[in-house]
Structure 1
Amino acid sequence: RQIVSDGFLKEWTLDLSTAAKLGLSSTGSAMRGPSSPPTPGVGNVELTQGKLSQEELIRDMGDGLLITSLIGSSINETTGDYSRGASGFWVENGEISYPVNECTIAGNLREMLLRIVPGNDARRHLSRVVPSLLVPGMAIAGE
């Protein structure tokens, strides 16, 4: 089922508890960790591909971080502000320059989703089909 189409929310992702609070029907979308109660979530995700290759996205980035690994997360559910640990490769003038380990990326989830540029290289990984993504304007901190 499509949750978002052409940038618009088409359907909620609800577990029994949140559906009851909203007076809606559950979509059967509960997830949980080993020590946490169920919450709404999605496990099978497929993002729409764009027109550019990963190489073209890196070139268009100019200077920035090519992220290959994410660690942990923190999000303010009220404002959408988030931060995560990351590692990958530093890009200068559209070229991969050197490896980067243990930096922090931060931004606002809503603003990030409005600016995201998908690549054309989606491939299946477990239950997800996601292309490379260029996210302009993300804050990066670290040495």
Structure 2
Amino acid sequence: MKKIVLLFTVAMFFTLTTIGSINAQTELTNEEKEFVQTIVNDFEDSHSIDLEGYDFFDVKKTPSDKDNLTPDEKSLTNVYTDIVENQSFFGISPLMYIDKANNNGYVLEKELNGMNNLYILSKSNQTWKISDKVHKKGIDLDELLNK
């Protein structure tokens, strides 16, 4: 029963944050920031990546009117949308980190079963694309939340 409540709570939280363009100015609470950092730490451990120097790209803060997006924002939003459309219902809303100076980035997609899907992004001709996808088992979400 505890797992069902956990699954429902996490799914609702991330469904709302994914759809969360309702109020693009909403900042994450401290609890949400802590949760995100826990996910990031799990990815850094499981994939041996270092996100220092990368900027968090918050899709929720991009204008909802595609005509007002920069080419970078448009391209990154398309990548994000493609990932979200293909993830399972119970997946965690992907986190996107970009290093614009080096034209690369990562999308971190955490599944409830602990699978960490890392999308490696590259930019060429003003278009961001997924250049690789790596699956590695991380810590089960239930275990991460109960640390």
TM-score normalised to structure 1 length: 0.31
Query: Which structure would you say has the larger Rg?
Result: 1
TM-score normalised to structure 2 length: 0.31
Q: Which has the higher strand share?
A: 1
Q: Which has the higher helix share?
A: 2
